[in-house]
Amino acid sequence: MKAIEIIKAGEVKVVEREMPVAGTGEVLLKIKYVGFCGSDLSTYLGKNPMVSYPRIPGHEISAEIIEKGDGVPENFNAGQKVTVVPYTNCGQCTSCKQKRFNACRYNETLGVQRDGAMAEYIVVPWQKILTDEQLSTRQLALVEPLTVGFHAIDNGEVTDLDTVMVLGCGMIGTGAIVRAALRGATVIAVDIDDDKLAVAKKLGAVHTINSLKQNLHEELERITNGDGPTVVVEAAGNPVTYKAAIEEVAFAGRVVCIGYAGSEISFLTKLWVQKELKIMGSRNANPSDFEAVIKYLKGSDLDENLLITKTISVEQASETVKYWSEHTGEVLKIMVEF
């Protein structure tokens, strides 16, 4: 079968791999679409510390059940459309014991610590499969990337009383914007790309700020009457936005950090203490976040093409990832069709 493999930093090839076989408790899936994630770009650029090479990327999955092994429940059958929860959990670490499986100490995400889904077929445990016949195959591939932003809003305990600033309007930030708007919060979307800000506006952002063209602090002072946003979601992974999150969040506010910054960040602890901030990380997503995204996609009139920058063939992967690495600001989501 064909698979897309990142051989080493800067090199992507289409390779031949053996067809997988479903074992006990496993399901064989035929891949329909897989989205490229920012972590895949980091792997290509050699900036992902959790990856070893070569690696098949991909964990944003749309697929069809082909067959199942022994011990798989009867409600899983050939022909069903599915998406996949791409994380593992050990069940024994401190996170798992608190049912925070998304933050398992020993998690291995498809396409990161183990080979992912950018292949014609994959095998996964039945417990990681979510079936849905109402969503299209393209929509199913958007579920996982949206869940990460949904989870961040859940961590931030956002309500309709909050003003939420989302720093970075890529797919992760997009999920946070949608979830915050669904909860009735006033959403401020911040990015350096006008096209992404236009999408954010359509998805529920009340205010947008292009921080390259506008003064972020002055705009926030105007929008919030000098108070600052009560919740800030850092979804850009940039030292500048991390500092802005601490500086601009309201007193007694919450800062939720999703992005991985590529370098160390320093900031005045005075702001952390004086404002009595809650600063928390947000990693992956829980099953309830997947359920929430699927419910949203079913109930909304969202045109998924709004979120998909480009759909490519397997053979176009190498040239497309190279282009993406050179034009990161122009891309919201690249999807590979198998």
For the chain, give every domain's residue range.
2-142+308-337, 146-281
ω into 54 cis (within 30 of 0)? yes
The residue written with tokens 């309830």 in the block is 288
Phi-psi region of 79 (alpha: psi -120 to 50; beta: other; left: phi over 0): left
| pLDDT the model gives residue 201 | 97
Q: Name the phi and psi angles at 152, rounded to 5.
A: -60, -40
Give the chain's residues under pLDDT 70. Answer: none
* Contact (Cβ atoms closer than 8 angstroms) between residue 155 and residue 285: no
In this structure, are residues 112 and 96 in contact, taking their beta carbons and an 8 Å threshold?
A: no
pLDDT of residue 11: 96
- CATH number for the region 2-142+308-337 comes to 3.90.180.10
Amino acid at 282: S
User: What's residue 49's pLDDT?
Assistant: 84
pTM of the predicted protein model: 0.94
| Superfamily designation of domain 146-281 | NAD(P)-binding Rossmann-like Domain (3.40.50.720)
**The two three-digit tokens of residue 21, written as one number:** 């076989």
211: Cβ–Cβ under 8 A, 6 or more apart, which residues? 190, 191, 192, 244
Q: Tell me the per-residue pLDDT of 228-270, one tens digit each, with 9 for 90 and over.
A: 999 999 999 999 999 999 999 999 999 999 988 878 888 888 9
pLDDT in the model for residue 307: 94
